Structure 1
Amino acid sequence: MPRIALTQPHPFDIEVGARVAIRRRAMGLSQTDLGQAVGITFQQVQKYERGANRISASRLFEMSKVLGVSCAWLMGEEGAPGGSDLRGVDASSQKLLVAWERLDARDQVAVLNLAQTLAASKPPV
């Protein structure tokens, strides 16, 4: 029998999941809260947020209602109406937040230290 190759999550699924996590945290919701609101377990929310499982269109729609953002915002569409907590955040900053969510805690500390070191060497704005 031929071997089935295990594939990595698609980068788009990872980005959508990271946006779900960003918005969920901005609203102060736990994974359990979001899961209960859309009828799934917190473990499934974890898988969605990591991009390990793809979010179906109907589930994405339900999550967007609970999170108060459009499906387009969760999918990273530029200029799409988003939630009030991230309204006005430029596209580069949103990309940074999405990337941040993909890092583990150790890497987040390293990136924060790097950013603080770089910022300290620049004159105040």
Structure 2
Amino acid sequence: MPRIAVTQPHPFDVEVGARIALRRRALGLSQTELGQGVGITFQQVQKYERGANRVSASRLFEMSKVLGVSCGWLMGEHGAPSGSDLSGIDASAQKLLAAWERLARRDQDAVLGLAQALSAPKQDA
């Protein structure tokens, strides 16, 4: 049986990449910083985040340690990131995290841009 070339990333690879990017941004890490944490280049992080390259199980494990989430969360397990990073977070913040996960990536980028603009140091004119 002839093999058919796949030109589009698999939707699951795209989802895993989006969750890596989401968590990386939430932690304020650059692609370079994440790459250094797991021993890869920022270009490889870009490819993972776009879903262009699949993340191996061992690389996913290393990324989960750097990002402070479970491998399951990076693969789409429901709920907010697990671990001590959520201890002490009130119910409103947990609802916000759940709503965040439902936003399209474009909308997440827009919200992050707005938050960064609002939190930037004010320049005196």
TM-score (norm 2): 0.69
Partners of 1:102 and 1:14 in 2: how far apart?
Answer: 16
Partners of 2:106 and 2:15 in 1: how far apart?
Answer: 9
Query: What's the secondary structure of 2:52's corresponding residue?
Result: coil
User: 1:59 is aligned with what amino acid?
Assistant: R
Q: Is the 8 A contact 1:16 1:51 kept in 2?
A: yes
In structure 2, the partner of 1:95 is 102
Higher RCO by CA contacts (8 Å cutoff, separation 6 or greater): 1
Q: Is the 8 A contact 1:20 1:74 kept in 2?
A: yes
Aligned identity (percent) is 73
Unaligned runs of at least 5 residues, structure 2: 112-125
Query: Shift of residue 95 of structure 1?
Result: 2.7
**Which aligned runs of 4 or more in structure 1 are off by greater than 4 angstroms?**
none
Rate the CA distance shift 1:20–1:101 in 2: closer, same or farther, 3 A.
farther
Which runs of structure 2 are paired with 1:107-122 in the superposition (5 Å)? Answer: none
TM-score (norm 1): 0.69
Unaligned runs of at least 5 residues, structure 1: 110-125
In structure 1, the partner of 2:34 is 34
